[in-house]
Structure 1
Amino acid sequence: MTQTIDTTADRALKAKHRAMWALGDYPSVAIELIPELGPELVAASGVRPGDRVLDVAAGAGNAAVPAALTGARVVASDLTPELFVAGREFAARHGVDVEWEEGDAEALPYDDGTFDVVLSCIGVMFAPHHQQAADELVRVCRPGGTIGLLSWTPQGFVGDMFRTMKPYAPPPPPGAQPAVLWGDEDHVRALLGDRVTDLVTRRQTLTCDRFPTPAAWAEYWKTAYGPTIAVYRHIADDPERVAALDRDLTALAARFDHGTDGTVMDWEYLVLTARTRS
């Protein structure tokens, strides 16, 4: 059932989300730390030359650019157009054209059935109202088209990271759902319902080995990743809580660290593909 949303409150929430993702340097996170995720989603979704592709909550284009490299015609849509500067540079370095358009994943500005393939690589999962976002993914995909999603799992590193930050964060607004539920197969099946067929999922891990110590990762993350920056700003007037969050994030990375020469962590994610019913 579609949830009734207070439009005034929703506009304020989306403004906060836009500002949050403009904090720090998310393009460096997407392009330097997790570059393999976009190409993997594009391959799993079977993007072909000439396909009309929409990358929802595209950020700096970590799926949009690999899709364009196949010869597809790609639109990258995101609530935070500040990320498009890095996205355009990313596309230019790879010699591809991508259309960059501001858009809310819960109210996409496209007609029904516009796209052959609708993708989202750790993007749409951060839309606060999951059913509205899922409805939009299905709506703008043509009958018989493909929906491809890649999301962090609740059980993996990123799920643990959000649980670690939760005691320090402001309470979520009414009706907002945890992002990592998109990494739960049963949750996404329920969101998409009988409007799709041939739904396939697999869990995989990304290896993060860019940091010498858990503390180095935590220090980087608190300056580069928008949601973490926002939490630190929320507690900025309480030095004891800031220090406690520093310790908790460092301990989180240490729990996942299995490296012997530098910090090595495996971050679990879910890849899901499905076809819209003809």
Structure 2
Amino acid sequence: MNAHNEADRALKAKHRDMWALGDYPAVAAEVIPDLGAILVEACGVGRGDRVLDVAAGSGNAAIPAALAGASVVASDLTPELLEAGRVLAAKRGAEVEWRPADAEALPFADGEFDTVLSCVGVMFAPHHQAAADELVRVCRPGGTIGTLSWTPEGFIGQMLATMKPYAPAPPPGAQPPPLWGSEDHVRALFRDAVTDVAARRQMVTIDRFADPSAFRDYFKANYGPTVAVYRAIAGDPDRVAALDHALTELARRHLKDEEKAVMEWEYLLLTARKRA
């Protein structure tokens, strides 16, 4: 058991460090600023609700939930992201409690929250069942659980698949993040612990990149998983060039309008009620 615990601690430390690379708060604020508010609205968050944002990053969902009048705790494995969130929340006049926490072992009581949500966050916890069980555990009976996750077939799912051959092999038991974007997978994780599952695939329009190579360079500089993969192959110029080409081509294939360099990225928005 100790060896397992040690391995898990090392894996979590690696995840924590990866998300501190680059500038994820910039990605959340500049590329996908509206996703958190979409999830908050889908969950019906309102005044006086007790809300937990799991794998909250810099508060893309926590801040809109607080501005909707909820009492919000934002938890994340990476302290640097919570620090950035604290600054953003203060700027926007949102009151949020920021707590370092592992999505697979949340430091909260059973049934502590009315709504438990995660916006492109919990999907990156390596052990999906452990994370899903925690989302359910800390939600009160009859409360709402909501996730917004990139789909395997959508742009970010395809980007992660494109980077995978260049990345160090994941440890045994770690599952691919975009599985959270598959409705069947999430239903299987929650099993009969929830009712009233509502799931729909939607698109977010991305129009901030001048062209595919501008997208690639932005993600190489700012998105932790991409920064980490490039660091892993930094000593091999051929592999760097191959990944550069693969990411540029991926973006090119997803252009909706070459003239304007507009892309649409697919995500799964899923809400459910914890069985009373």
Normalising by the smaller structure, the TM-score range is over 0.9
Q: Distance in 1 between matches of 2:246 and 2:27?
A: 21
Alpha carbon RMSD of aligned pairs, Å? 1.1
Aligned pair partner of 1:65 in 43, 63, 66: 63
The percent of aligned pairs where both chains have the same amino acid is 69
Question: Which residue number in structure 2 is paired with residue 169 of structure 1?
Answer: 167
Listed as ranges, the matches of 1:253-264 within 5 Å are 253-264=251-262
Cα deviation, residue 217, structure 1: 0.5
Q: Distance in 1 between matches of 2:147 and 2:94?
A: 22
Paired residue type of 2:66:
A
Equivalent pairs, count: 275
Listed as ranges, the matches of 1:78-117 within 5 Å are 78-117=76-115
Q: Is the 8 A contact 2:115 2:143 kept in 1?
A: yes
Aligned pair partner of 1:243 in 237, 241, 244: 241
Question: Which residue number in structure 2 is paired with residue 152 of structure 1?
Answer: 150
Paired residue type of 1:107:
A
Question: Which residue number in structure 2 is paired with residue 8 of structure 1?
Answer: 6
> TM-score under structure 1 normalisation?
0.97
Question: Which residue number in structure 2 is paired with residue 195 of structure 1?
Answer: 193
Deviation per residue, 1:180-214 (Å, 9 max, x gap): 00000000000000010000001000011101110
Q: Distance in 1 between matches of 2:249 and 2:140?
A: 46
Paired residue type of 1:100:
W
Question: Which residue number in structure 2 is paired with residue 270 of structure 1?
Answer: 268
Q: Distance in 1 between matches of 2:3 and 2:235?
A: 32
Cα deviation, residue 32, structure 1: 1.2
Question: Which residue number in structure 1 is paired with residue 72 of structure 2?
Answer: 74
Deviation per residue, 1:143-188 (Å, 9 max, x gap): 0000010000001001110111111111110000000000000000
Q: Distance in 1 between matches of 2:263 and 2:78?
A: 29
Tell me, which stretches of 5 or more residues in structure 2 are unaligned? none
Q: Distance in 2 between matches of 1:254 and 1:241?
A: 20
Deviation per residue, 1:83-114 (Å, 9 max, x gap): 12220121112111100000000000001000
Tell me, which stretches of 5 or more residues in structure 1 are unaligned? none
Q: Distance in 2 between matches of 1:89 and 1:261?
A: 37
Q: Is the 8 A contact 2:82 2:100 kept in 1?
A: no
Aligned pair partner of 1:224 in 190, 206, 222: 222
Query: What SS does the aligned partner of 1:120 have?
Result: strand
Q: Distance in 2 between matches of 1:160 and 1:277?
A: 34
